[in-house]
Amino acid sequence: MIFVDTANLQDIEEALKRGFIHGVTTNPSLLSKEPKADYLAHIAKIVELLNRYQGFYRDGIHLSVEVFSRKVEEIMRQAQGIMAASAGANYVSFFWGRIRDGVNEKYDKEREEAEKIGALDLDDFNPSRVVGMSRAIFSEQFPKVKIIVGSIRQAKDVRDATLAGAHIVTVPPKFLKSMLQHFKTDEVVGQFFADFRNWLS
């Protein structure tokens, strides 16, 4: 499934009009890019948009909102009790681009220390490997848990995350158009139309 990763109401509506988005995900950083407003009021506007387009989607449209507190009581209040379902999580999020960032020079010291004590190895900075291994473990031990992959940095990350085993990939609006295009497809379609026009004339 593909979720559009934004808090911008216009971007959300444009994504919904495309017809292949299964949901919306957002987080405090994305919300901070929008005009200042009441947090719950803004989420309510997103829900209103989803409800408006709900009838066009066979399986409905989902909303994932990251909470912005470390206090259990506040997390539970923000999530409105949904995260309390059973004893474990229904979803686990992996941040694709941020996992890959771990090999940057900026983190050399932290990475080397973690490798030295055996807490991490280079595979832990390969998002395909991390998601793939996690999917294998979840499928065996926690089959109801779904994997959400965010922090998509380029359109091909969507493909790679899906192949690695993500159930849901959150996609920034700027990549949606490029996901639907391929220069060879454009070439062939252009040729078809040119041939047809020549045949008609």
The answer on pLDDT for 103 being more than 50 is yes
CA separation for the pair 8, 31 (Å, rounded)? 8
Single pTM value for the model: 0.65
Predicted local confidence at residue 14, as pLDDT: 92
CA separation for the pair 19, 147 (Å, rounded)? 22
H-helix segments, the chain: 9-18, 28-31, 39-53, 72-79, 96-101, 108-116, 127-141, 155-164, 176-179, 183-200
| Strand ranges of the sheet holding 62-65, from the earlier edge strand across to the other edge | 62-65, 23-26, 2-5, 168-171, 146-150, 91-95
The answer on pLDDT for 133 being more than 60 is yes
CB atoms within 10 A of CB 21: 23
| DSSP symbol at 35 | P
In this prediction, residues 113-127 reach a mean pLDDT of 88
Q: 197: which 2 tokens?
A: 């026009």
Q: What is the pLDDT of residues 156-174, one digit of tens each?
A: 999 999 999 999 999 999 9
Residue closest to 25 by CA, chosen among 3, 52, 45: 3
Q: What is the pLDDT of residues 16-60, one digit of tens each?
A: 988 888 889 888 888 899 988 887 788 888 888 888 888 777 777
Residue closest to 172 by CA, chosen among 30, 19, 18: 30
Q: What is the mean pLDDT of the chain?
A: 82
